Amino acid sequence: MSRIGNQPINIPAGVTVSVGKDNIVTVKGAKGELKQAVDRDIKVEVNGSVINISRPTEQIRHKALHGLYRSIISNLVKGVSEGFKKDLELVGVGYKASNQGNVLDLALGYSHNIIFDVPKELKVSTETVKGKNPLILLESHDKQLLGQVAAKLRSLRKPEPYKGKGVRYVGEVVRRKAGKAAGK
């Protein structure tokens, strides 16, 4: 039995869920609208304020897709009702971030600034407080897109293990290494 796949998804007030032809699930809420194509073997049923997902057989493929689509649909419902946030911090001397609308201007220790266009579905803001690391705050109703953009920003300058400099998620722990041992 799938522990995740068998759990029902509660639909909060103000959110509508519909399953169209070709098994496309559409979720509408206060924060926006999201669509997800579901594999034709997985059955999605909307009963009042609860969504149930079921699989036809006990094949390994069906078991894997059962939990996967339950999690994805649950994230769609949570996204259109509450939304998601990811915060990144820039650790390093001279590292800066500023934004003009959805265009990020990053100074990450390279010879040039990096101009990064954030998709319009995301809301981006930057925060610089004296004595603290600059922050990039990302908000969206689409968890997949949010994670993808945050990972791309992090990949521009990954945290290195010796001084810990780079772009990292707030709360991320970077394993530090000892440098060269002093001779003699």
Q: What is the tens place of the pLDDT at every residue in 78-96?
A: 999 999 999 999 999 999 9
Residue 27 banded pLDDT, cuts 50, 70, 90: very high
- Both structure tokens of 166: 């780079």
pLDDT at 174 over 70: yes
3-17: average pLDDT? 90
Q: What is the DSSP string of 67-83?
A: HHHHHHHHHHHHHHHT-
pLDDT at 183: 55
- Both structure tokens of 106: 């990053």
Residue with tokens 């610089």: 128
pLDDT at 182: 62
For 27, phi then psi, to 5°, come to -120, 125
* Cα–Cα distance measured from residue 56 to residue 5, given in angstroms and rounded to the nearest whole number: 13
pLDDT at 184: 54
50-59: average pLDDT? 92
pLDDT at 4 over 90: no
pLDDT at 153 over 80: yes
* Cα–Cα distance measured from residue 44 to residue 85, given in angstroms and rounded to the nearest whole number: 28
148-158: average pLDDT? 95
142-155: average pLDDT? 95
pLDDT at 2: 67
Q: Are 46 and 10 in contact (CB under 8 A)?
A: no
Give the strand order in the sheet containing 16-19. 16-19, 24-29, 32-37
Calculate what percentage of the chain has a pLDDT beyond 70. 97
Residue with tokens 């009702």: 81
pLDDT at 1: 60
- pLDDT tens for 113-134 read 999 999 999 999 999 999 999 9
Q: Which residues contact 125 (CB under 8 A, 6 or more apart)?
A: 99, 136, 137
Q: Is 1 helix (H, G, I), strand (E, B) or coil?
A: coil
Predicted TM-score of the model (pTM): 0.89
Per-residue b or e along 141-171, where b marks 16 or more CB atoms closer than 10 Å to that residue's CB = bbbebbeebbeebbeebebeeeeebbbbeee
Strands (E), 101-171: 103-107, 114-117, 123-127, 135-140, 166-169
Q: Are 168 and 154 in contact (CB under 8 A)?
A: yes
With DSSP H G I counted as helix, E B as strand and the rest as coil, what are the percentages for the chain, rounded to 5?
20, 35, 45
| Mean pLDDT taken over the chain | 92
